[in-house]
Chain A
C-alpha cells in the first residue's frame, strides 16, 4: 500500500500515459482499419491490393520489430524529430489497424448482399453504399471482436515503455530498479491495467446492447 502512496505521482503519470497511448492509438487504428477494410472490399484493384499488402505486412510483423523500425528507421527517412509518444502511437495504431480491418471486413460479410444491391440500384456509389448502408449494419457484429482488439492494444502499449514513453510498464521498471519488492509493484500495475481493460469491456457491452438491428 505504501508503495502506491509514496510514488503516487509516478503511478498516476504511468496510468494516464497508458490511457492516452491506448486511446490515441485506438482512434488511429479505428480510422485506418475502417479505411483499409473499405479498400479491401472495393471494386478498384489497386486499392484492394494496397489494403491486402497493408494487412499482410503489418499483421505478420512482430510488434517489437515494428517499434524498432518506427523508432530507429522511420525518423531517419521521414518525420525526423518526432516525439517518442507520437512514434509509439503510430506503431501501435498501424499494427492494430490490421486486426480492426479484418474484423470490419468479416462484419461487412455478414450484411446480406441484397442490401448493397438495393443501394447500388438506387444509384448510390460504392463508397456511399459502404458508409450509409453496409458499415452501420456491420457495426453490431464487429463490436465483440473490437473489444478484444482494444484490450490487446492496451496491453501491447507496454512495449512503448521500453522506448522512453511514460506509461505503466516504465513505472514498474523505474521502481524495480530502485529495489522495491517486485510483487507489490506488479500488483498495482496490474490493477491499473484492469481498470482500463474492464472499462473497455464494459463500454463495448453497452454499445452492443444499444446497436441491435432487427431483421
Chain B
C-alpha cells in the first residue's frame, strides 16, 4: 500500500494500492470496520488480478480528519 505517488514511483513496488488517506491512517477513519475490510479485500483482489509488474491501483475512498 501507499499514499504518496511520488515516493511510490521511486520505490516501484511490484503491485500496490494507493489510498487517498493521509499519513498515519492508511485504512481511513478509525472505527470504520467496513472500509477497513473493503481495503483488505481490494488488496486480495489486486493480488489475483494484477499481472503487470509495477501496477498501482488508486482507490477512490476519501476521508479527511
A complexed with B: no
Q: Show the binding face of A for B, using Cβ within 8 Å.
A: none
